[in-house]
Amino acid sequence: MRSLKMPKLGVNIDHVATLRQVRHGIEPEPVFAALISEASGADSIVAHLREDRRHIQERDLYLLKETVKTRLNLEMSVAKDIVDIACEVRPDQATLVPEKRQEVTTEGGLDVPPNFKKIKQAISRLEKQAIAVSLFIDPDKIQIDASAKLGVGMIELHTGRYAEAKNKKQQDKYFRQLETAVDYARAKGLVVNAGHGLDYYNAARVAKVKGIEELNIGYAIVCRAALVGFACAVKQMKALIK
Ligand code: PXP
């Protein structure tokens, strides 16, 4: 069944922490951004504890867990020490992502089939702590099938190829791939979220795809917030995906 409602908005606050870590200072405070986002219409707060700790730190997670009122979605790799931390912090949701040290941002989705066992172990540990698990995957039937086989209830489709398309023809092609993947995953009973690379120019089209539950957007909102403030940036995005 297709969802007819507008997607929710998850605001990723990683790059507030990036700005702080540039100087290893105390500002800007990611928790502050999270609370303003919630007050401005965010439906969830997303943070990625990367293995190299380039932005979000463990202390941020503990503070976010204490303060976020909507839903805390922790993006994370399946590395054992990261799963240990997640099991201790117990966010509402964990989104499993692939992670490479050298990448500027998460470059692709999880390759589920060859990593099936490792991902399954992480899911099992997280679910024991009552954490809802989502898998960040490319809009691809093989990945969707493998995710469904793992028994997760939720996936997030990587919108990077659509967002980074060099021309209209390419963008249309990747948009159709996304639509097909949403339908395919929904037919398998999965809750479907989407994100990566979405901004004030390309998010509205994705928001119109029926069946997407939530869009997770970070970089574009933090960039806009640097100029117009966080409340305004979140409200503008919320209005745009309506
Ligand atoms: N979803 C996932 C799983 C991600 O890894 C990221 C990047 O941290 C995002 C969404 C948000 O991407 P962006 O910062 O490009 O909006």
pTM of the model: 0.96
Share of the chain above pLDDT 70, in %: 96
Residue type, 27: E
201: left (phi over 0), alpha (psi -120 to 50) or beta: alpha
**Cβ of residue 224 lying under 6 Å from some atom of ligand 1:** no
Q: Find the 192 Cα to ligand 1 centroid distance in Å.
A: 15
Section 71-75 average pLDDT: 98
Q: Closest ligand 1 atom, CA of 196?
A: 12
Looking at the predicted structure, is the pLDDT value of residue 121 above 50?
Answer: yes
Q: What spacing in Å lies between the alpha carbon of 196 and ligand 1's midpoint?
A: 4
Q: How far apart are CA 223 and CA 47, in angstroms?
A: 16
> In whole angstroms, what is the distance from residue 36 CA to residue 56 CA?
18
Task: Give residue-wise pLDDT tens across range 26-38.
Answer: 999 999 999 999 9
Contact 112, 152 (CB under 8 A): no
- Write the pLDDT tens digit of every residue in 13-28: 999 999 999 999 999 9
Q: Are 10 and 44 in contact (CB under 8 A)?
A: yes
Identify the H or E element spanning 9: strand 8-12
Q: Give me the pLDDT at residue 101, please.
A: 64
| Residue 24: active-site member | no
Residue pair 82/125 in contact by the 8 Å Cβ criterion: no
Residue 5, pLDDT score: 81
Distance 195 CA to ligand 1 centre (A): 6
**Token pair in block for residue 219:** 């970089």
In this structure, the residue with its CA closest to atom 7 of ligand 1 is 196
Average pLDDT value for residue range 66-93: 98
Instruction: Name the catalytic one among 15, 99, 196, 214.
Output: 196
State mean pLDDT over 35-60: 97
Q: Which fold has domain 8-240?
A: TIM Barrel (3.20.20)
In this structure, the number of other CB atoms found within 10 A of the CB of residue 104 comes to 6
Q: Is 139 in the pocket of ligand 1 (CB under 6 A)?
A: no
Considering the chain, what is the average pLDDT of its residues? 96
Question: Is a pLDDT exceeding 80 seen at residue 4?
Answer: no
Q: Could you tell me how far CA 76 lies from the centroid of its own chain? A: 10
**Is residue 20 lining ligand 1, measured as CB closer than 6 Å?**
no
Q: Of all atoms in ligand 1, which is nearest to the CA of residue 160?
A: 15
Residue 48 a catalytic site member: yes
pLDDT in tens, 139-190: 999 999 999 999 999 999 999 999 999 999 999 999 999 999 999 999 999 9
Instruction: Locate the domains of the chain by residue range.
Output: 8-240
pLDDT at 198 over 90: yes
| Catalytic residue status for 29 | no
